[in-house]
């Protein structure tokens, strides 16, 4: 009787290790040698379970995009039927989101790599636009008297603050930075009132 394949399980372990490496050293710095060391397996096994480096990047990006989309849907489902924007800010700038800070570092590394890898840019732009559209739509529902351009400006500001604060959490004073970042977003939103 044949043993069941553990290829998918091993591929997930490899992708986890690749993401950790990318978060630390960026896409270009995350060599197969480094990923193999992080995954505690031989480099040949990386190729066997995932493929070459480009296959590894593609698989990781695809998984990242799927996970991000699922988290966006969870976020929308979590928001109450009223006062959604204040609840949205609470969720976005909650210390509980620190569990996703590695995702933010991976996103930043992918965005940086997209400058020299147009195929990444093509995949990441819709991902960014989806997140920004969520913020824009929530603002538009609550501040429907404001003009569309002002809403888009505020939404872009909120997204920028969100990515910035999680990218610098390693500096310390995390709760203070999150609180102040949420306050900055509230000030931006107050321009719509």
Domain residue spans in the chain? 60-190
Check pLDDT > 60 for residue 4: no
Check pLDDT > 90 for residue 21: yes
Looking at every residue in the chain, the average pLDDT score rounds to: 91
Q: Give the integer Cα–Cα distance in Å for 104 and 92.
A: 12
pLDDT band at 3 (very low <50, low <70, confident <90, very high): low
Mean pLDDT, residues 95-99 taken together: 79
Which are the contacts of 189, defined by CB distance < 8 A and separation ≥ 6? 85, 89, 139, 143, 154, 158
Mean pLDDT, residues 114-129 taken together: 94
Check pLDDT > 60 for residue 91: yes
Q: Give the integer Cα–Cα distance in Å for 40 and 28.
A: 20
Check pLDDT > 80 for residue 121: yes
Q: Class of the 60-190 domain?
A: mainly alpha
> What is the model's pTM?
0.84
Which are the contacts of 60, defined by CB distance < 8 A and separation ≥ 6? 15, 18, 19, 22
Mean pLDDT, residues 146-174 taken together: 91
């Amino acid at each position: 009787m044949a043993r069941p394949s553990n290829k998918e399980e091993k591929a997930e372990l490899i992708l986890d290790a690749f993401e950790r490496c990318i978060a630390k050293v960026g896409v270009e710095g995350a060599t197969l040698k480094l990923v193999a060391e992080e995954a505690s397996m031989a480099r040949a096994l990386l190729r066997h379970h995932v493929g070459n480096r480009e296959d590894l990047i593609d698989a990781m990006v695809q998984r990242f995009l799927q996970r991000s989309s699922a988290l966006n849907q969870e976020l929308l489902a979590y928001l109450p039927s009223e006062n959604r924007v204040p609840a949205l800010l609470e969720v976005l700038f909650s210390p509980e989101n620190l569990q996703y800070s590695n995702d933010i570092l991976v996103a930043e590394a992918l965005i940086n790599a997209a400058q020299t890898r147009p195929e990444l840019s093509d995949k990441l732009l819709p991902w960014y636009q989806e997140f920004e559209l969520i913020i824009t739509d929530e603002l538009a529902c609550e501040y429907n008297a404001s003009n569309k351009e002002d809403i888009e400006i505020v939404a872009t500001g909120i997204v920028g603050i969100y990515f910035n604060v999680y990218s610098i959490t390693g500096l310390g004073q995390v709760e203070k930075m999150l609180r102040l970042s949420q306050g900055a977003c509230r000030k931006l939103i107050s321009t719509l009132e």
